[in-house]
Structure 1
């Protein structure tokens, strides 16, 4: 932490932080052994004592205050994601955001952010609807680039309408599952791995309800909290396909057009 400027998040797992800070309890016994073992190198033992004291002085997590390990892990993950977001926001000032200069996109990204960050652990599907050429794919791509880092897996499946006609829906589904499992085979056993991962998937240019259903609900078990975004110029395809919400992309207003 001092040399490399790394962030340290201590986890006091079934141990009292004061025992770590003052080397009491089992720590006291072990250090007594270390002092005998390293009699010729007292500085090493002292450095260990100092490191433990410094660690215990940091803000960390005490497992005893949580009902179970799952709650403890969830809190740690939230903290890490929050810190990563702060870092990424800082990087935005160095590397211009992909959405910079795209007129009228901010409100759409804000709505998508709210959809992705909802507390529901259920799988949620967002439809993005509008006429051809209005910018649905661009909105979905910017959202994907911006938020995919916060998921355990992600995949952007573009030109669903065209690709399904060329290769068939079965082939697209196998490709989707393979990509989300990072190249692993699509056997039943490995598909179970997908059910344990929170993923973000974009399906661009869906033409029919069957295309959306086949690539979302049929034969795929998504992990809790997974989010799926589908773009289409066919409102019926989105509604009949089972989306939970629809974001309408309208023409630019006078000011934005100007």
Structure 2
């Protein structure tokens, strides 16, 4: 009996040793392990004793997927039938997925227990080793799993649907990887006090409603929009089978985003989208019956949103869509939420998590920490980057680093913030520089009149700024 290393498994592989141990079971196990799947394979021929051990039960129960390989002799083994009953129990009580492989038997033979499977059940009855309840449980499990959608390898090979066992194993592993993929998105474990923001967005999006909702989160670069959106996405994810996270929209070709959206929701590689109009048509036609959870991160142009989520009717009832952007002006959504900088106390806590791995500064670094926080203006990105930069340094090194940062912002922060500047058109940049360099504290009406005379379109530009 062999299993992958580690204390938990993703896939439980059940098979009859003499039939498949050195054949499809071995190919499949090795390929799954090579693909990074934590797999447990049970070979009943290598086991001693009559009772299923705790380790075996645990492996079945904790696995997300069970794959029984139904070969000619599978039902001859009481061990395999016991495992099958436990798989069905795990499916009923814990939502485990069972993905059967019908190796050299038809699904109907398993479902109705005819031919060799019928003879195997009769043989177990005649031996009188097992009571009627046990036999009935075996028959019920065979019927239940025989009805499930799986892979009929015998039919596939005869119909030339696949070229051989190697290609078949590759298909199975790809399907298992797709099934194991979850909607959960990784987020930093150092975020601070986001419950209030999350609660408001969950209320906006109607977390428990059957209404399709599109919500936009906007704010300046580095303020934490993506982290907040990921947390909301994760909290919603348990209610969705179909989901997609489109990141870095600003940097990605629209047709590629359309292709990824279709592929992720439909769970198969989509044919290449040749143009945006074709992509819009495919999204509308293919996804309108799908209840989807969708996160579009870092959009900067209305045309991107029109190509991906133009109308509620493109998606099934109850779909939830979250958009993050720096530019509120591109949002044509049900609700918008503005995320602003953190206050001093929360900034100090976040900074301390990265600089000291605790919620508050060491006593000798309190003044240094306040100095660092004052240059971050409540931006989580800046607090994280600068806190990590200073972590583990001496007081003298803090002084030197802070002095350098005050003269020239840390490169990672500066690069992130420059995205907002680079997105401005020429008139908007001129107004931005005027405000930053000359007009601090001026009456807005006076400078607007000046900008209008220069044809800078100040009303539209100030809204964007």
Native 8 Å contact 1:155 1:179 kept in 2: yes
1:65 corresponds in structure 2 to: none
Deviations 1:168-192 (A, max 9, x none): x334223321222222447989975
Q: CA RMSD in A?
A: 3.9
- The 1:4–1:192 alpha-carbon spacing in structure 2 relative to 1, beyond 3 Å, is farther
Secondary structure of the structure 1 residue equivalent to 2:220: coil
Out of 152, 174, 185, the residue aligned to residue 241 of structure 2 is 152
2:251 corresponds in structure 1 to: 162
Native 8 Å contact 2:125 2:135 kept in 1: no
2:33 corresponds in structure 1 to: none
Higher relative contact order (CA 8 A, sep 6+): 1
2:347 corresponds in structure 1 to: 257
Alignment of 1:237-252 (within 5 A): 237-238=330-331, 241=332, 243-252=333-342
Native 8 Å contact 1:200 1:226 kept in 2: yes
Q: Distance in 1 between matches of 2:218 and 2:283?
A: 33
Q: CA deviation at 1:43?
A: 4.3
2:134 corresponds in structure 1 to: 47
Native 8 Å contact 2:213 2:312 kept in 1: no
Q: CA deviation at 1:160?
A: 1.6
- The 1:190–1:132 alpha-carbon spacing in structure 2 relative to 1, beyond 3 Å, is closer
Q: Distance in 2 between matches of 1:46 and 1:160?
A: 58
Structure 1's unaligned 5+ residue stretches are 11-33, 52-96
Radius of gyration: which is bigger? 2
TM-score scaled by length of structure 2: 0.33
Q: Distance in 1 between matches of 2:346 and 2:250?
A: 30
Q: Distance in 2 between matches of 1:231 and 1:219?
A: 17
Native 8 Å contact 1:99 1:105 kept in 2: no
Q: CA deviation at 1:202?
A: 0.9
Secondary structure of the structure 2 residue equivalent to 1:204: strand
Q: CA deviation at 1:129?
A: 1.1
Q: How many residues align?
A: 185
2:297 corresponds in structure 1 to: 204
1:180 corresponds in structure 2 to: 265
Runs of 4+ in 1 over 4 A off after TM superposition: 5-10, 37-40, 48-51, 186-193
Q: Distance in 2 between matches of 1:218 and 1:120?
A: 18
1:55 corresponds in structure 2 to: none
1:224 aligns with 2:334: no
- The 1:38–1:229 alpha-carbon spacing in structure 2 relative to 1, beyond 3 Å, is same
Q: Distance in 1 between matches of 2:330 and 2:282?
A: 32
Secondary structure of the structure 2 residue equivalent to 1:255: helix
